[in-house]
Structure 1
Amino acid sequence: MKINELKGRSAHLTNLNNINVIMGRNGAGKSRFLRDIEEVTSQNKQLFYFRYVSPERAGSFKRDGSVLTNMSNDPTWLRQVRAVNQANNFKAASAMLFREAETLYLRRLASTPEIRMDPTRNFQTDRLSKVNQLLTNISLEMGNADFEFRSLTDGQLVIPDQISSGESEAVALASEILYFFDTIDPAKTNILLLDEPDVHLHPDLQARLGKLIIAMLDEFKSYAESIAVCLATHSSPLVCSLADSQYVSIGTKSFAVDTVELKPTSAELRKVAPFFGHPLSLSLSEDAALILEGEDDERVWQQAARTSQGRIKVFPVLAGSVDQQGELETFCVNLLDTLYDNPVAFSLRDGDGVVDQPLEHRPPIKRYRLQCYAIENALLTDPCLAVMGTTWEGFVAAALKWEAENQGHADRTLINELAESNDRLRHKKIKKVRQLVCAVLECKKPWEVVVGQAIGALTNEDLASSNMLIDFLGAEMVSDIIFRNGA
């Protein structure tokens, strides 16, 4: 049964999808929000099947007699102990649930001819392999009496207490997810609440966990209308691993705001996903997103970053048009504060003939307009000409010589206009002849490489003195982006 919203006493989650990502900074109340929904809605067992996975998952992934006794004697015991952030023996309970999931899968196998008749489908391929895709040093295998861990290096048995916290976390989470899907009730709305599933996981593991959830939804897509996975996180790798899926919607939980409106993942998220999915962005590498209007600008800034040998710390994010650039700006404004404590990002637009009309910043995004028509116009500045081994006077002489030798060339008029201009056609479109300029000067480098190398070679001394390239790019933009850290 398809529902559109979930309500607690105060929490309100709207526009549900199959996977619902609730983002927000620490202290925004994401855990309280999920617990509020779980506490109220789980009381209606006629309509809902609920499972809640708490954010702190203690213990070891091994069967525990006392846990088994508590689970057997009191059906509400597991829910009660997981209703708080610190859940003791969480992983021991996960181990019990995974053993139960094996039984449930085998029953399903026996009663489902299309699975039973497929030689590639069994518990090993459909369940254990999904757990092991999250592991890099060990594997979970079926032993004689129970599941056991084996080293991938030498095949030796590894006791659960000795595996890493991240591996233990991954196995427990996978077990909880698999158990939920193997126990869904098609007659009810099935809700899985995952509270910060990324805790203790390496960024790559966080991304793999997202793919596991999508894989399980694919397997149970015939029941899709009755399934909603709600996860609270501020993990960019996890979110971006989900970004391309039609199952996913995203909402932001803000402090003291108890309504989260979910929206389907958009083209904007898919474009910025490579940046936000990069686990070192804005933490170790200090890369900042730089939203650019087209592929030409992207290639220029990639070259500039390479030439600067790491001094220019930007991650180009490509928009396909001015309108899409605006959409990306809006998307990032709403998202950045949920991911980083001191976010910074930039957006750079073409001048398009507009002069002396700076763009207003949209914190945390700083927005700039090139002080020339487009990035290729910078090709005619003195620093770029120097990269090609010449000067403006040298270009004019070479252009006049080229004109005389190419009377019938379609772009002869524009080259002539360029050579005779007083401002190097700074605010005029020269896209048609940008690579021709390099050819006229017998430069074998692509024009994007020339401009990128010139930008990457700029220094603080250039910023303090007269520099034509900085003038064309815009002094404020150069200061903020290229010399962001005073380098």
Structure 2
Amino acid sequence: MEIEKLDIAGAVASGIGSLNLLLGRNGAGKSRFLRKLDQGLSKDEQFNVRYVSPERAGVFKRNGSVITNMENSDSWLREVRRKNQAENFKAASAQLLRDVETAYLRRLQDTPEIRLDPSKNFYTDRLERVNRLLPNIRIEQEKSDFVFKTLTGELVLPDQISSGESESVSLATEIMFFFETLDNSKFNVLLLDEPDVHLHPDLQARLIHFLIQQIEELSEAERSHVTVLIATHSTPLISAAATSDFVKIGTKNFDDDFVEFRQLDENVKKVAPFFGHPLSLSLSNDIMLILEGEDDERVWQQASRSSNSKINVFPVLAQSVDAQGDMEQFCEKLLSAIYDNPVAYSIRDGDGVTEDLNPVGSVVRFRLQCYAIENALATDECLALIGLTWGKFQQRAENWIQKNDKHRDVDLIKMLISSDDRLRHQKIKKIRQLICSIAGSNKPWEVVLGQSIAALSAQTIINSGPHLSAYLGNALVKTIIISPSHIGAEISN
């Protein structure tokens, strides 16, 4: 049963997909909206609904009275969780983990292709996934119970683990229970109300990836009758989810219970990770760097890693010149709406053109002073990193040509070593790794180039000739590498 619209109890969620993020300011009524859906859908036999409240109190430890209430009434858990403050929430989650194990083992028993796979067991398929969410502890089975231990094996009592770790285990259990107990005869709905509460941004990202993995592992038929709605205003959570093709976003306004969920724009998907953790950006002063292709992205990632924090850029991939122009316009508007003193960079290939590019608002644009980034491999600085001069490289290339005169790229190598400008403004993409190989380097060409860029300093700037700073362009080197500007640390009100 496939449903794209939930319309019940005065709440309408239109255009829903597998994973839907409900955004809105505090007081916009996101929790009330989810509870309306829960209360209305739970009365309809077509639906299998679970609601997870925003404040999840208690300790992740089995509690006798909670177990009794859960066993005596199927509706007890649903009723106590319809409040913002759900007492003994984690105690119920602890019992649900036992139920997850039971459901998993029953499915293992009933499915021969899974049962006969020796790699399939509850520990690797379920508990290990939960443990990947936890940086400092692990949850393990001991006899008939689950216990927490440090990474060195010391026992940790449930009330001694951090609130974030307790939240992670509890939420992961709730998610696993929902997916382990899907009813294929009904439309299954999971309502998660602010799962980011008490979680560090990294844990928020891990949790959403955990959830996405559950969705990805469903068959297409199963996904057609499953939807997850998450109420949140967490940028790390939104950013972590944004890269998934299953994600849609809708906005909840006060006094309006109609929410339309839409697929994410490709530009939003690409820049979302940059906005995932504004605090870390303020501390690290990372600046968005819009790049034309994956080759450029790998080079600048390497340059940033090798620069000992001198080059603080966050590469964002555009994939084409046209897409790069669209992204420059998009990011200029977005940055200006968030930061008081926004700065972003954009680098384009030369493609035989050397004229400077005008900025797009706060986006400072540069054009490489060579055909493409790989042309800089032939500069003196890149060859010096490998231990060669241009003359020595020419000698090695001559020797290589004699031994490989039938090679498909031999003519391009001949053109390179005989060219007055080392083919600076011509396409050499086909021989970029071959250049490193002839030079005697086993490093990928992106690493050679990225490390060479990271080594540039004010003393190594030479604006002409076969030098790396000349190929990159004087303005680019001075702005991004030698004395980078910094994005405004203060977020606009």
Q: Which of residues 159, 162, 169 is equivalent to 2:160?
A: 162
Work out the number of aligned pairs and report it.
Answer: 465
In 1: Cα distance, 2:458 partner to 2:429 partner: 30
Q: Deviations over 1:300-328 (max 9, x none)?
A: 43454355332001244455543454576
Q: Cα distance 1:29–1:262, how it changes in 2: closer, same or farther (>3 A)?
A: farther
- Tell me the CA shift for residue 2 of structure 1: 0.8
Q: Cα distance 1:174–1:339, how it changes in 2: closer, same or farther (>3 A)?
A: farther
Determine if contact 2:285/2:486 at 8 Å carries over to the other structure.
Answer: no
Q: Cα distance 1:255–1:455, how it changes in 2: closer, same or farther (>3 A)?
A: farther
- Tell me the CA shift for residue 8 of structure 1: 7.2
Determine if contact 1:58/1:87 at 8 Å carries over to the other structure.
Answer: yes
Q: Deviations over 1:76-104 (max 9, x none)?
A: 66445544544443212323444455565
Partner of 2:491: none
Amino acid in the other structure paired with 2:173: S
Q: Cα distance 1:254–1:390, how it changes in 2: closer, same or farther (>3 A)?
A: farther
- Tell me the CA shift for residue 183 of structure 1: 4.0
- Tell me the CA shift for residue 350 of structure 1: 1.0
Partner of 1:346: 345
Q: Cα distance 1:449–1:20, how it changes in 2: closer, same or farther (>3 A)?
A: closer
In 1: Cα distance, 2:260 partner to 2:329 partner: 18
Q: Deviations over 1:206-230 (max 9, x none)?
A: 4553454345446653532211122
Q: Are 2:263 and 1:263 aligned?
A: yes
Partner of 1:19: 19
Amino acid in the other structure paired with 1:261: F
In 1: Cα distance, 2:280 partner to 2:217 partner: 34
Q: Which of residues 146, 149, 162 is equivalent to 2:147?
A: 149
Q: Deviations over 1:429-448 (max 9, x none)?
A: 566888999999x8979986
Q: Cα distance 1:210–1:430, how it changes in 2: closer, same or farther (>3 A)?
A: closer
Q: Cα distance 1:281–1:129, how it changes in 2: closer, same or farther (>3 A)?
A: same
Larger mean CA deviation between 156-165 and 66-75 belongs to: 66-75
Q: Cα distance 1:297–1:43, how it changes in 2: closer, same or farther (>3 A)?
A: closer
In 2: Cα distance, 1:171 partner to 1:217 partner: 18
Q: Cα distance 1:410–1:55, how it changes in 2: closer, same or farther (>3 A)?
A: same
Partner of 2:59: 60
TM-score (norm 1): 0.69
Partner of 2:5: 5
Q: Which of residues 411, 417, 420 is equivalent to 1:418?
A: 420
Q: Cα distance 1:359–1:485, how it changes in 2: closer, same or farther (>3 A)?
A: closer
Determine if contact 1:293/1:350 at 8 Å carries over to the other structure.
Answer: yes
Q: Cα distance 1:163–1:459, how it changes in 2: closer, same or farther (>3 A)?
A: same
- Tell me the CA shift for residue 61 of structure 1: 1.1
Determine if contact 1:2/1:226 at 8 Å carries over to the other structure.
Answer: yes
Partner of 1:138: 138
TM-score (norm 2): 0.68
Partner of 2:291: 292
- Tell me the CA shift for residue 231 of structure 1: 2.7
- Tell me the CA shift for residue 129 of structure 1: 5.2
In 2: Cα distance, 1:104 partner to 1:387 partner: 58
Amino acid in the other structure paired with 1:167: E
Amino acid in the other structure paired with 1:55: P
- Tell me the CA shift for residue 169 of structure 1: 1.4
Matches within 5 A, 1:369-384: 369-376=367-374
Determine if contact 2:350/2:370 at 8 Å carries over to the other structure.
Answer: yes
Which stretches in structure 1 are left out of the alignment for 5+ residues?
none
Amino acid in the other structure paired with 1:358: L
Amino acid in the other structure paired with 1:262: R
Larger mean CA deviation between 10-19 and 115-124 belongs to: 115-124
In 1: Cα distance, 2:183 partner to 2:274 partner: 38
Q: Cα distance 1:134–1:448, how it changes in 2: closer, same or farther (>3 A)?
A: closer
In 1: Cα distance, 2:172 partner to 2:357 partner: 51
Amino acid in the other structure paired with 2:39: S
Partner of 2:309: 310
Determine if contact 2:286/2:314 at 8 Å carries over to the other structure.
Answer: yes
In 2: Cα distance, 1:53 partner to 1:259 partner: 20
Q: Cα distance 1:151–1:187, how it changes in 2: closer, same or farther (>3 A)?
A: same
- Tell me the CA shift for residue 166 of structure 1: 2.9
Amino acid in the other structure paired with 1:165: S
Q: Deviations over 1:1-54 (max 9, x none)?
A: 2111345788764432223345x6xx6359833541441463142143322223
Same amino acid, percent of matched pairs: 48
Q: Which of residues 366, 369, 373 is equivalent to 1:368?
A: 366
In 1: Cα distance, 2:373 partner to 2:313 partner: 17
Q: Cα distance 1:319–1:31, how it changes in 2: closer, same or farther (>3 A)?
A: same
Q: Cα distance 1:260–1:471, how it changes in 2: closer, same or farther (>3 A)?
A: farther
Partner of 1:28: 25
In 2: Cα distance, 1:453 partner to 1:154 partner: 38
3-state SS of 1:43 partner: helix
Which stretches in structure 2 are left out of the alignment for 5+ residues?
488-493
Partner of 1:43: 40
Larger mean CA deviation between 165-174 and 293-302 belongs to: 293-302
3-state SS of 1:309 partner: coil
RMSD: 5.5
Q: Cα distance 1:385–1:125, how it changes in 2: closer, same or farther (>3 A)?
A: closer
Q: Cα distance 1:287–1:260, how it changes in 2: closer, same or farther (>3 A)?
A: farther
Partner of 1:172: 170
- Tell me the CA shift for residue 148 of structure 1: 3.6
- Tell me the CA shift for residue 62 of structure 1: 2.1
3-state SS of 2:311 partner: coil
Q: Cα distance 1:202–1:151, how it changes in 2: closer, same or farther (>3 A)?
A: same
Amino acid in the other structure paired with 2:3: I
- Tell me the CA shift for residue 149 of structure 1: 1.1
Q: Cα distance 1:386–1:175, how it changes in 2: closer, same or farther (>3 A)?
A: closer
Amino acid in the other structure paired with 1:290: L
- Tell me the CA shift for residue 188 of structure 1: 2.8
In 1: Cα distance, 2:352 partner to 2:203 partner: 47
Amino acid in the other structure paired with 2:59: S
